[in-house]
Chains A and B, each alone.
Chain A
Amino acid sequence: MLTHVRIDNSFDAWRDAARGLLANGVPPSDVTWSSGRQQPGLFAEATTAKDENREIRVSPEFLRLARTVACFDDAEKWPLLYRILFRLHHENRNLLMIESDIDVRRARVMEKAIGRDVHKFHAFVRFRKVENVSGDEVFAAWHVPAHFTVERAVPFFARRYGTMMFSILTPKGCAHWNREQLVFSPPVDAAMAPKTDEAEDLWLLYYRSIFNPFRLNVSVMKRELPVKHWPTLPEAVLIPELVREARAADTPAS
């Protein structure tokens, strides 16, 4: 019999549901999953566990993997994680060691994508000074992560810029630091993005000057600086003209 599970898009919600399913021995092929932003309470029919309190032991490695994969922006992650959990219990408790297994491989690829998204988050946030309240500098940034990585990525900025007040706005959630505490708030859209900053003129000049047109390599640049990030990076407006100039200089004058 097919069970349909609707959960909130969070690791905790998945874990609660998965715990019940596993306790009841429900095979992965008998479960379909969907998740949304809704309150979990709205779908009370979802997890019909008889034995929810029975402790289910999983390795710290699986927990780490599952928490990371839960940030991935694709509903495929929930059935995948349940399949791995089920197989760990019923097929091979060393399953995660078999890195060439199709499910393990897929989860590892998702895990890697989250790591990359967090890394690019740290790299590509661009703060703009937005206002001065009683002489304080306040900074804001608009960034578009590929996955649900705001909560993972932002503590880094609080450690680094602890003495600065800042907000990081994204379509997947926002974060605010007041020099003491990190607060998260719901997503906003691009219209909220801060518009300009006085330092950008020099930054663009630096970007232009450090570029070496004799080593033009557009494909590598695009791989490391994916085009989807260009709209939030002030320096990216220069890319087309720098590429054009470099190509023109490389063509011998006739």
Chain B
Amino acid sequence: MMELRRKLEVLADAAKYDASCASSGSKRERVDGGIGNTEGMGICHSYTPDGRCISLLKLLLTNVCIWDCSYCINRKSSNIPRARFKPEEVVRLTMNFYKRNYIEGLFLSSGIIQSADYTMEQLILVAKKLRLEEKFGGYIHLKAVPGASKDLLLEAGKYADRLSANIEMPVQEDLDTLAPEKTISEIENTMADVKYGLDDAKDRGVRQDFARAGQSTQLVVGASASTDTTILTKAEALYKKFLLRRVYYSAFSPAEHTDVTLHKEKAPAMREHRLYEADWLIRNYGFAAHEVTQGLDGGNLDLDHDPKLAWALRHRSLFPVDVNRASKSLLMRIPGIGIRNVDRILKIRRFQKVRLEDLARLRVSLSRAKWFIITADHNPDVFKLDRASLPDALRKRAVQPELFAALSVVTSAVTGEL
């Protein structure tokens, strides 16, 4: 029998392609005599040298899988070592890590063994042991296995803070090529069952009884030829239809896998980052997916400009915006000015005129914002707004890959569910 160390090595390694590590959005008081709670704010307990946070103990119950999705390292035909935890081994690891304050909780997923229902049952078993036997009050994220029966999904939601069924690809054609066993409709049915659980608990006035941190999903980016426009349109539709808290984008890197039939891509990390930024605009800045994607070259987001800046450059006739007069929704559209600074500007201008100097002190990114705004004082750069060379000027100024890479971690992991 394989020793625990080896299993942990194999099954943590196999779990790292799921981007989600959020532990926020859930409040749960410690039960009497138990251990663990959640207070709403996610906590990243460590960071690995890839800059990603460790918030949850992220494991597969097993990396054995009956499916053969070509973008997935754990596919049936993949030549990797296989392992399987016993439920009590996962419980023990979780408790031992939690007591030492290494983690906020557990994110448990699995390869598909025997059937969707059997796999779902095994995941539920672990969560149930943690909650009932260990009186564990920390965060639990369970994979909702596509095709599992509604009863099982409803049971999973009783123990889990979050459920996630990964859609993987934005359109069925991609799945047909890369994951022939999967269908969008089956995955969406699973999301619909989870949504039923959420709505039902809410209707009964016991929202906290079912997946209190809601549901999320993940899309693999760069393994198929689908464009960012297709991806963001799908993401927006999923947010609306299933009330998802988050869509995660996971850049596929062919170097990590060996399937030669896959689409190759040069800058998957930057592309992933731009998708997170665009997703952020859709969820928090009042942008519709079609606004972010309209007029994109080749249907993909501009890698050189962030999506808000790119949008503003395409809509220069709407600028300049007077920061002392504009509505909140218009202020939110100015490149380089974030939501918090919009709120600060609105407060300040009740008492005094906002000048460039004020914006500089608020740490507004003036290198991006100054071309698009009118302030109470003289702003010489606004006269260059209509120059044909502006996009190039901003390309040189705006792109600091390290800084942007940092931002994607902030938006996707640290602040988690904002």
Interface set of A (CB-CB < 8 Å, partner B): 92, 94, 97-100, 102, 105, 119, 122-128, 137, 139, 141, 156-157, 159-164, 197, 199, 201-203, 205-221, 223-225, 233, 235, 239, 242-243, 246
11 pairs from A and B in contact (CB 8 Å cutoff): A92-B351, A97-B351, A100-B358, A105-B361, A123-B46, A126-B100, A139-B99, A160-B37, A163-B34, A205-B5, A210-B58
B401 to chain A, nearest CB (A): 10
Residues of B within 8 A of A92 (CB): 351
Asked whether B9 lies within 8 Å of A205 as measured between CB atoms, the reply is yes
Closest CB in chain B relative to A235 CB, distance in Å: 6
Shortest CB distance A103–B (Å): 11
B390 touches A (CB below 8 Å): no
Please tell me if the beta carbons of A124 and B48 are within 8 angstroms of each other in the complex: no
Q: Does B243 contact A (CB under 8 A)?
A: no
Identify which of B10-18, B283-291, B312-320 touches chain A: B10-18
Residue-by-residue, is B65-97 near A (CB-CB < 8 Å gives 1, otherwise 0)?
000000000000000000000000000010011
Residue contact A199 to B402, C-beta cutoff 8 Å: no
Q: Contacts A163-B33, A210-B54 given: A239-B49 contact, CB under 8 Å?
A: yes
The residues of B that contact A210 with a CB separation of less than 8 Å are 12-13, 15-16, 48, 54, 58
- Contact partner of A246 (CB less than 8 A), chosen from B49, B100, B101, B269, is B49
Give the docked Cα–Cα distance between A215 and B16 (Å). 11
Q: Is the CB of B414 within 8 A of A224?
A: yes
Interface residues of A, dominant DSSP: helix
Asked if residues B5 and A97 are in contact (CB atoms below 8 Å), the reply is: no
In the complex, which of the residues A162, A207, A223 contacts B406, with contact meaning CB atoms closer than 8 Å? A223
In the complex, which residue of chain B has the Cβ closest to the Cβ of A201?
B5
Question: Given A156-B39, A205-B9, are A124 and B45 also a contact pair (CB < 8 Å)?
Answer: yes
User: By the criterion of a CB under 8 Å from any partner CB, how many residues of chain B are at the interface?
Assistant: 59
Known: A98-B352, A210-B15. A160 touches B47 (CB 8 A): no
Does B50 lie at the interface of the complex (its beta carbon under 8 Å from any beta carbon of A)?
yes
Contact with A along B366-410 (1 / 0, CB 8 A): 000000000000000000000000000000000000100110010
Beta-carbon contact of A212 and B97 below 8 Å = no
- Chain A residue with Cβ nearest B30: A162
B37 (CB) vs chain A CBs: closest residue? A160
Known contacts being A100-B358, A160-B37, A210-B16, is A202 close to B50, with CB within 8 Å? Answer: no
Cα–Cα, bound, A162→B34 (Å) = 8
Q: Chain B, 47-65, contact with A by CB distance < 8 Å: what is the 0/1 string?
A: 1111111100110000000
The answer to whether A217 and B49 have CB atoms under 8 Å apart is: yes
Q: Which residues of chain A have C-beta atoms less than 8 A from B208's C-beta? A: none
The residues of A that contact B347 with a CB separation of less than 8 Å are 97-99
- Contact check, B253 vs A224: say whether CB atoms are below 8 A apart: no
Q: Which residues of A contact B359 (CB under 8 A)?
A: 100
B154 within 8 A of A: no
Q: Known contacts A98-B348, A203-B100, A225-B47; decide if A164 and B35 are in contact (CB<8 Å).
A: yes
Residues of A within 8 A of B357 (CB): 100
Q: How far is the CA of A100 from the CA of B101 in the complex (A)?
A: 38
Which of A99, A126, A201, A215 touches B101 (beta carbons < 8 Å)?
Answer: A126
Query: Is chain B's interface secondary structure helix, strand, loop, or mixed overall?
Result: mixed
Contact between chains at B46 and A207 (CB < 8 Å): yes
Q: Which residues of A contact B10 (CB under 8 A)?
A: 209
**Interface residues of B, Cβ cutoff 8 Å to A:** 4-5, 8-10, 12-13, 15-16, 30, 33-37, 39, 41, 43-54, 57-58, 93, 96-97, 99-102, 253, 255-256, 269, 344, 347-348, 350-352, 354, 357-359, 361-362, 402, 405-406, 409, 414
Residues of A within 8 A of B351 (CB): 92, 94, 97-98
Min Cβ gap B285→A in Å is 20
Cα(A199)–Cα(B256), bound, Å: 30
Q: Is the CB of B344 within 8 A of A99?
A: yes
Q: Which of A141, A203, A208 has the most CB atoms of chain B within a 10 A radius of its CB?
A: A203
**A97 nearest in chain B by CB position:** B347
Instruction: Please state if B414 and A220 are interface contacts (CB–CB under 8 Å).
Output: no
Distance A202 CA – B6 CA, assembled complex (angstroms): 10
Inter-chain CA distance A216–B269, complex, in Å, is: 11
Task: Take A159-B37, A163-B34 as given contacts and tell me if A199 and B49 are in contact as well, using a CB distance cutoff of 8 Å.
Answer: no
* Residue of A whose beta carbon sits closest to that of B358: A100
Most chain-A CB neighbours within 10 Å: which of B13, B43, B101, B348?
A: B101
**4 nearest A-B residue pairs (beta carbon):** A220-B51, A100-B358, A217-B51, A209-B12
A124 to B100, CA, bound (A): 10
- Report the minimum CB–CB distance from A237 to chain B (whole Å): 12
* Chain A neighbourhood of B362, CB < 8 A: 99-100, 105
Contact of A202 among B33, B48, B93, B255 (CB under 8 A): B93
A209 touches B44 (CB 8 A): no
Q: A219 touching B47 by the CB < 8 A rule?
A: no
User: B344 and A217: CB pair below 8 A?
Assistant: no
Whether the Cβ atoms of A212 and B100 lie closer than 8 Å is: no
Please determine whether B100 and A224 come into contact, CB atoms closer than 8 angstroms: no
Bound form: Cα–Cα A251–B170 in Å: 34
Q: Which residues of B contact A128 (CB under 8 A)?
A: 100
Q: Which residue of A lies closest to B138 (CB)?
A: A160
Chain A neighbourhood of B101, CB < 8 A: 125-127, 141, 157, 161
Residue numbers in B under 8 Å from A224 (CB-CB): 44, 47, 51, 53, 409, 414
Distance A206 CA – B56 CA, assembled complex (angstroms): 11
Contacts of B35 in A (CB 8 A): 160-164
- The minimal Cβ–Cβ distance linking B352 to chain A, given in whole angstroms, is 7
Contact of A214 with B253 at beta-carbon distance under 8 Å, contacts A94-B351, A219-B406, A224-B409 already known: yes
Shortest distance between the CB of B181 and any CB in chain A (Å): 26
Q: Of all chain A residues, which has the CB nearest B57?
A: A206
Contact B36 A160 (CB under 8 A): yes
Q: How far is the CB of A69 from chain B (nearest CB, A)?
A: 18
Cβ of B46 and Cβ of A225 under 8 Å apart? yes
Minimum distance in angstroms from B341 CB to a CB of chain A: 9
Judging by beta carbons under 8 Å apart, are A100 and B344 in contact? Answer: yes
Q: Which of A97, A157, A164, A213 contacts B50 (CB 8 A)?
A: A213
